[in-house]
Amino acid sequence: MRRFWLIFAQATTIALGVVFAVRMLAPQWLERSAGAPGQTAVLQLLQAAPGPAAAPAAGSYSGAAQKAMPAVVSVTTTRAPKPGRGSLSGRFFGGSDARAPTVGLGSGVIVSPTGYVLTNNHVIEGAEEIEVKLADGREAAAQVVGRDPDTDLAVLKIKLRDLPTLAFGDETKARVGDVVLAIGYPFGVGQTVTQGIVSALGRTQLGINTFENFIQTDAAINPGNSGGALVDVNGNLLGINTAIFSRSGGSLGIGFAVPASTARNVLQQLVQSGHVVRGWIGVEPQDISPQLAQALSLPVADGVIVAAVLRHGPADRAGMRAGDVVLDVAGQAVRNTGQLLNAVAALKPGSATAVRILRQGHEQQLRVKIGTRPQGPAMLRDEESGSAGSGAP
């Protein structure tokens, strides 16, 4: 009996030693043997199966970015070399040669599955060749459908299938403080997304375009972003990034975008006719300053005064005179020349519109038949007054 007990004790000790050694040196052997028959494969399958995709973290705008990014493209232009023999540094010190073609970089937004691309006019102006590159790597030569220098917009056409597009948003519902994303190709480093807020709405009189109604944002916009997209948190197009205020050439947090409604109107007209038709009344406006109001004894401290009227123009035929103060056009109040330009340009040529004015302290309402804004730089010239202006409504 004692001998049997000794053998049992020795066997138990050896077995425990083996288990301890296996657990220390090859624990996976024990894991594989655990569980009922057939259970091991199920456990392994569950462990190998990927989990559900993680939801965007709170405060993330990845959804809006992923929606918009495929439709934002890179625009590369090639311009003819400038006339001349080239700079001294170009010929002897390895600098740029003025005789070499100039390559420009910008951005664009695909807004139609048929291949229409919105960009800035200054991006493609003077270009002999234009190449568009999509985020998915595809490339295509682009043709210019039309240009509108007055809003610094242009429309290109590319021929590719299965194009991603970006839907127009409604910038009239935007509010200062709303989060926005700027998407483009700055400095040629590749597609880049920056985030900021709407800093201001309806910016005018910046001297950038003839017609200005900019969305201002602090989202970083740099060289190469021109023509790219400003989108809301739902990934819809709020505007076309156009310009920045900068002393160094880089972003200082003050950028401007042409609103989506303006871009859509320009797009439709350029596609239909190749040019944009705008209303015109033939006056030279001037902002009223407090000093001017005091000097002329005007009862208003701000607004728009008519400095000159084009002879036989729409305003002249309606009875408007130099010195009249324009209060509103078609019921829309105007407080500066930018607002007057935009209000008149939005009117349909040939239509008759009420214009309320202030003359010698008394309000009057004139009925003006809207004309068509002339094409080209010289929009208004009154030979008697000698005044002229390319921004005249």
CA distances 328 to 143, 261, 341, Å, are: 41, 22, 12
Q: Give the Cα separation of 371 and 382 in Å (integer).
A: 16
- Is 312 a known active-site residue? no
Q: Give the Cα separation of 217 and 231 in Å (integer).
A: 11
Set 152, 218, 324, 382: catalytic member: 152
Q: Write out the chain in H/E/C secondary structure.
A: CHHHHHHHHHHHHHHHHHHHHHHHHCHHHHHHHCCCCCHHHHHHHHHHCCCCCCCCCCCCCHHHHHHHHHHEEEEEEEECCCCCCCCHHHHHCCCCCCCCCEEEEEEEEECCCCCEEEEEHHHHCCEEEEEEECCCCCEEECEEEEEECCCCEEEEECCCCCCCCCCECCHHHCCCCCEEEEEECHHHCCCEEEEEEEEEEEECCCCCCCCCCEEEECCCCCCCCCCCEEECCCCCEEEEEEEECCCCCCCCCCEEEEEHHHHHHHHHHHHHHCCCCCEECCEEEEECCHHHHHHCCCCCCCCEEEEEECCCCHHHHCCCCCCCEEEEECCEECCCHHHHHHHHHCCCCCCEEEEEEEECCEEEEEEEECEECCCCCCCEECCCCCCEECCCC
Q: Give the Cα separation of 194 and 217 in Å (integer).
A: 11
Set 226, 251, 328, 382: catalytic member: 226
Q: Give the Cα separation of 104 and 124 in Å (integer).
A: 8
- Is 122 a known active-site residue? yes
Set 74, 107, 122, 232: catalytic member: 122
Catalytic residues: 122, 152, 226
